[in-house]
Amino acid sequence: MRRKPSRAAPLRRVREHRTLLDLEGRSLPLRIRRHPRARRLTLRVDSAAEGAVVTIPASVPIEEGIDWAQRKSAWLLEMIEGLPPRVAFVDGAVVPFLGIGHRICHRPDQKGVVWRENGQIHVTGNPEFLARRVTDWLRREARREIVTRVAAKAEMLGRPAGRIGLRDTRSRWGSCASNGNLSFCWRLIMAPERVLDYVVAHEVAHLAVRDHGDRFWATVATLTEDPVDARAWLRRHGEGLHRYG
């Protein structure tokens, strides 16, 4: 499942191989992901690294994945050149918070650290610490939102959740381990609220149903509204969240 919440704790690990593609004199980072559940070769743009990712079945040689990506060079270059610009966490930058754009406002004359008000994210302190403080604040807000939603949805299922971790993952938005521990990408705080809620619902549903059969999706539907729309948003726009910061 490309750039969406992962399946429940696979027994076999996804292995990666990293290399560079030479596309018309331009070196492009390429990740080859060997996935035990993959049935065919798939290719996507990795906007965070301005590179590409090829997913291959377990039986396919790595070289075949590299050759396949090379043959798609024209498409890759077109997609990468069309990526939106990166947005650094600096004074005046606009970043999404739960899908709504907020302007970063440096307030060196104010006390405190970071707060959100009237469509702005106010950041105090010296300018060299601004980016780190915005990142730390977004991570704290992500934890607050996710922990609250996990607790509510786990109670709905009558299943206890384990520890909740936050990471800056690029290959998955969330995961649920066999012991009930949950992990999420903190960048979900920048996605629309319905998308964050769906990812939480997806992973909490794995506390009750480990596979992705009909019963699993029926369970997800009881925990969040319109999961189909949220999944579609992640497919179209999820990579763009890694362009911030």
Residue 165 belongs to a domain: yes
5 pLDDT higher than 60: no
Residue 138 belongs to a domain: yes
Number of structural domains in the chain: 2
Helices (H), 34-129: 62-71, 73-81
Same domain, 142 and 218: yes
Residue 86 belongs to a domain: no
For residue 10, name the pLDDT band (cuts at 50, 70, 90): very low
Q: Mean pLDDT, to the nearest integer, of 22-34?
A: 85
Residue 1 belongs to a domain: no
Helices (H), the chain: 62-71, 73-81, 130-157, 193-205, 214-223, 227-237
* Mean pLDDT estimate for the chain: 90
Same domain, 66 and 164: no
Q: What does the pLDDT read at residue 24?
A: 76
Domain residue limits at 73: 15-81
Percent of the chain with pLDDT over 70: 94
Backbone φ, ψ for residue 18 (5° rounding): -115, 140
Confirm if 175 and 127 have CB atoms less than 8 A apart. no
Same domain, 238 and 136: yes
Strand (E) or helix (H) holding 117 = strand 114-117
Same domain, 72 and 149: no
Rounded to the nearest 10°, the torsion over CA 150, 151, 152, 157 is 80
| pLDDT (tens digit per residue) in 37-87 | 889 999 988 877 788 899 999 889 999 999 999 999 888 888 888 887 889
Same domain, 160 and 236: yes
Least confident of 12-26, 143-157, 161-175: 12-26
Same domain, 60 and 152: no
Same domain, 136 and 71: no
Q: What does the pLDDT read at residue 11?
A: 33
Confirm if 52 and 68 have CB atoms less than 8 A apart. no
| pLDDT (tens digit per residue) in 127-139 | 999 999 999 999 9
Smallest CA-to-CA distance from 98 within 201, 224, 225, 241 is with 241
| pLDDT (tens digit per residue) in 178-192 | 999 999 999 999 999
CATH number at residue 238: 3.30.2010.10
Residue 8 belongs to a domain: no
169 pLDDT higher than 90: no
Helix (H, G, I), strand (E, B) or coil at 76: helix
User: Are β-strands 182-185 and 120-123 bridged in parallel, bridged antiparallel, or unpaired?
Assistant: unpaired
Residue 196 belongs to a domain: yes
Residue 9 belongs to a domain: no
Residue 142 belongs to a domain: yes
Most confident segment among 46-50, 228-232, 235-239 = 228-232
| Tokens encoding 85 | 């610009």
Same domain, 224 and 139: yes
| Tokens encoding 20 | 């560079």
Confirm if 174 and 201 have CB atoms less than 8 A apart. no
Q: What does the pLDDT read at residue 37?
A: 82
Q: What does the pLDDT read at residue 14?
A: 57
Q: How far apart are the first and last CA of the chain?
A: 25
| Tokens encoding 19 | 């290399």
Same domain, 73 and 150: no
